[in-house]
């Protein structure tokens, strides 16, 4: 490629790959191998000693995986990147890297259910405490920081309430106290938000979602702002705990990245159309979408995100019974957890993705039995709206006492 710097959309397709080094294959090769042969015993010794670069064993590095990591590093403007076998493997690895027994993790008010379960495990087994905070003001954040606070763990937008955390504010305060900031950027994708550019230390993704985009991979990605630190993480936590990605899954993610920008544009466009419909649907009580002007943190979302993305959460009149009836009445839209697929997916967080969280804690996070989360896919938006309409009609017919006035 020529030396002039190219845009991220171009890097998604070309970064790091020279076809002449791979028998002129236009498509990036899949190195589906567990180990690599050395030309001599001395070469093997040098590589294990770190005196010579080169492949050793796919848990430590693989050419296909390395190219995925290089492209993610470019996308998130980082200094190092690591690929994992799941989003939770990435979450576990970075937390294990920055904390020790007796430390405290300060979290955004809402987090993914399995992340909550991991934090509970840390507290029970290793005496690592955690707490949840809205992080809305400097005073609140300062008051919540403890002498043993090791990191701030943030989702923004928060899953599934779509609350927005002001990254600039949080990062400024964390830097003053020398505390690491970890941001789960799954809901935005690196095409819509780049926390490292705002000063975060680590950004992670469930690559299962928008990075892949096709619903056929489980994977995670972590990008950091310090190359030496990320290499240390690679050669300690990732190597020894072993939550690595397979070369084939890395190859599928590279394929998915090539269309990330096109897909995110369509996800966002479709979400805007569905949002307009939901705002006029009598059965819908509240709608949560970052770029909706009625969103309480709309101005923050506009400041740190390029667009609102493809996730919409909303509450439905009639509670759990109406919510489940509505889901069961859908036809085109699939009841499924996950997000970022070509297919539109909808789920009930209180009984699905966040069911592990105790009800009292869920209520504090705003995850009620009336709340639904929809991942708007790539279908024609008119078809999605027609499916939503017929489902709402069925709810109205079967629950006529529900007040929609």
Active-site option among 17, 31, 112, 153: 112
Across 245-383, the runs of DSSP E, i.e. the strands, are: 284-288, 311-316, 334-335, 345-347, 371-375
Helices 113-126 and 87-98 cross at an angle (nearest 10°) of 40
Alpha helices (H) along 227-315: 227-233, 239-241, 247-257, 260-278, 298-304
CB-based contacts of 147, cutoff 8 Å, min separation 6: none
Helix or strand holding residue 363 (H, E) = helix 359-365
209 is annotated as an active-site residue:
yes
Separation between Cα atoms, residue 84 and residue 146, nearest integer Å: 31
**Set 71, 109, 209, 362: catalytic member:** 209
Residue 343 · residue 285 · CB < 8 Å: no
Q: What CA–CA distances, in Å, run from 314 to 109, 160, 210, 275, 286?
A: 18, 10, 21, 10, 5
**Alpha-carbon distance 331 to 347, whole Å?**
14
Point out the catalytic residue in the list 184, 249, 292, 387. 184
In the structure encoding, which two tokens stand for residue 129, read together? 């405490």
Of 8, 46, 59, 79, the active-site residue reads: 59
Rounded to whole angstroms, the Cα distance separating 226 from 152 reads 17
Q: Is 345 helix (H, G, I), strand (E, B) or coil?
A: strand
Q: How far is CA 123 from the centre of its chain?
A: 23
> Cis omega (within 30 of 0) on the bond before 160?
yes
Question: Is 59 designated active site?
Answer: yes
Tallying the residues shown for the chain, one arrives at: 405
- Phi, psi angles (nearest 5°) of residue 402: -65, 125
Q: Is 112 a catalytic residue?
A: yes
CB 82 within 8 A of CB 90: yes
d(CA 398, CA 405): 17
| Nearest Cα residue to 391 out of 288, 273, 271, 281 | 281
Active-site residues: which are they?
A: 59, 112, 184, 209
């Amino acid at each position: 490629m020529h030396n002039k710097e190219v845009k991220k959309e171009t890097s998604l397709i070309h970064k790091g790959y020279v076809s002449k080094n791979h028998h002129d294959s236009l498509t990036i090769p899949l190195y589906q191998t567990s180990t690599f042969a050395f030309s001599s015993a001395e070469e093997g010794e040098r590589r294990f000693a770190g005196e010579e670069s080169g492949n050793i064993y796919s848990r430590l590095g693989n050419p296909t995986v390395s190219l995925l990591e290089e492209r993610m590093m470019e996308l998130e403007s980082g200094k190092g990147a690591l690929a994992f076998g799941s989003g939770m493997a990435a979450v576990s690895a970075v937390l294990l890297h920055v904390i020790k027994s007796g430390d405290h993790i300060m979290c955004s008010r809402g987090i993914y259910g399995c992340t909550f379960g991991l934090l509970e495990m840390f507290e029970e087994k290793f005496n690592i405490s955690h707490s949840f905070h809205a992080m809305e003001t400097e005073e609140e954040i300062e008051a919540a920081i403890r002498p043993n606070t090791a990191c701030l763990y943030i989702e923004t937008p928060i899953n599934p309430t779509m609350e927005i955390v002001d990254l600039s504010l949080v990062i400024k305060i964390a830097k003053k106290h020398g505390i690491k900031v970890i941001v789960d950027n799954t809901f935005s994708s690196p095409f819509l938000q780049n926390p490292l550019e705002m000063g975060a230390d680590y950004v992670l993704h469930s690559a299962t979602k928008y990075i892949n985009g096709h619903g056929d991979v489980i994977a995670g990605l972590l990008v950091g702002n310090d190359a030496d630190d990320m290499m240390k993480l690679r050669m300690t936590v990732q190597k020894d705990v072993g939550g690595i990605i397979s070369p084939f899954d890395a190859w599928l993610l590279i394929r998915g990245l090539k269309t990330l920008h096109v897909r995110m544009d369509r996800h966002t466009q479709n979400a805007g159309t569905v949002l307009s419909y939901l705002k006029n649907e009598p059965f819908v009580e509240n709608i949560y979408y970052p770029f909706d002007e009625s969103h309480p943190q709309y101005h923050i979302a506009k400041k740190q995100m390029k667009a609102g993305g493809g996730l919409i959460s909303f509450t439905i009149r009639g509670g759990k019974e109406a919510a489940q009836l509505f889901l069961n009445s859908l036809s085109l839209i699939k009841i499924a957890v996950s997000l970022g697929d070509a297919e539109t997916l909808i789920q009930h967080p209180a009984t699905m993705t966040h069911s592990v969280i105790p009800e009292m804690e869920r209520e504090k996070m705003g995850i009620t039995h009336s709340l639904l989360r929809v991942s708007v896919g790539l279908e024609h938006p008119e078809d999605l709206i027609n499916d939503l309409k017929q489902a709402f009609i069925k709810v109205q017919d079967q629950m006529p006492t529900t007040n929609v006035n």
